[in-house]
Structure 1
């Protein structure tokens, strides 16, 4: 017996991201900006999943009321071999997921791994929580979740 997941139509921002991803040959559904990710999360159109380490969430800050599934763990960023299983247990393969990390790099890797494991609607949040490095090697001054003034808390 086969069970098929009933997926609701994607929000226009996610459909646009999917089209851009297909055109660019990305191995996952696409990318959205931090502002789009927050709006999608608030509207219930996507589940926001923080894939940073527990330490990053605790000491750097995190978005309230979001899921956490670490792509890597510890200060050495050791790849979490249970990532896909944990993501499926917490969110399910049929949900539209937007993955957030520090800069958008690890979340892109996590999105690719999830897509390869059968998640059809997994998106990366560009810029990440802290944003890109500037010329002086600092984050948070050019772009990113916090730079855009989106909600976050810190322990």
Structure 2
């Protein structure tokens, strides 16, 4: 098991994508809400045999930490026969929620847990809009409507 006080760190979206596509054991976990998945879209792999795990870190609409996040994630990982030392990459809208989720799971996971720093939609631009500065969608990485 990893040191509970450590965490593998942030990865920018293109570096994360490279690591995810080069390692078939690496797992992408989207921790946004059901509403975000439905209305904004979800990341995907070009390989149809791989999927993205969707588990809310904060539950909508209260936006409180999902008390059974770790349990739900473990169930999803077990159902997919994910090796206990596989690298996990966490993604949210902008990299804040996914950072907290990655740090939390580091405490119970043997492999490295990474945060995808700019998230799915990225930072806000000068017009206070997301999706134009950085992030998964802006990088042109594969995604789909839910």
TM-score w.r.t. structure 1 length?
A: 0.76
Q: Which has the higher contact order (CA 8 A, sep 6+)?
A: 2
Deviation at 1:27, TM superposition (A): 4.1
List runs of 5+ in structure 2 lacking aligned partners: 45-50
Q: Which segment drifts farther, 65-74 or 123-132?
A: 65-74
Q: State whether residues 42 and 143 of structure 2, in contact with CA within 8 Å, keep that contact through their aligned partners in structure 1.
A: yes
Q: What's the CA shift string for 1:61-100, capped at 9, x where partnerless?
A: 0012211111011133221001111122222543210000
Provide the residue aligned with 1:59 in structure 2. Answer: 39
- Higher helix proportion (structure 1 or 2): 1
Does 1:141 find its partner at 2:132?
A: yes
TM-score w.r.t. structure 2 length?
A: 0.81
Q: What's the CA shift string for 1:43-66, capped at 9, x where partnerless?
A: 315100101111101110001221
Residue from 28, 32, 41 that aligns with 2:11 = 32
Could you tell me how far apart the structure 2 residues matched to 1:76 and 1:96 are? Answer: 30
Q: Alpha carbons of 1:135 and 1:119: their partners in 2 closer, same or farther (altered >3 Å)?
A: farther
Say which SS state the counterpart of residue 49 (structure 1) adopts.
strand
Deviation at 1:122, TM superposition (A): 0.8
List runs of 5+ in structure 1 lacking aligned partners: 6-25
Q: What's the CA shift string for 1:107-129, capped at 9, x where partnerless?
A: 00111111233454111001000
How large is the Cα RMSD of the aligned pairs?
A: 1.9
Deviation at 1:146, TM superposition (A): 0.3
Find the structure with the greater CA-based Rg: 1
Could you tell me how far apart the structure 1 residues matched to 2:62 and 2:131 are? Answer: 22
Provide the residue aligned with 1:13 in structure 2. Answer: none
List 4+ stretches of structure 1 deviating above 6 A: none
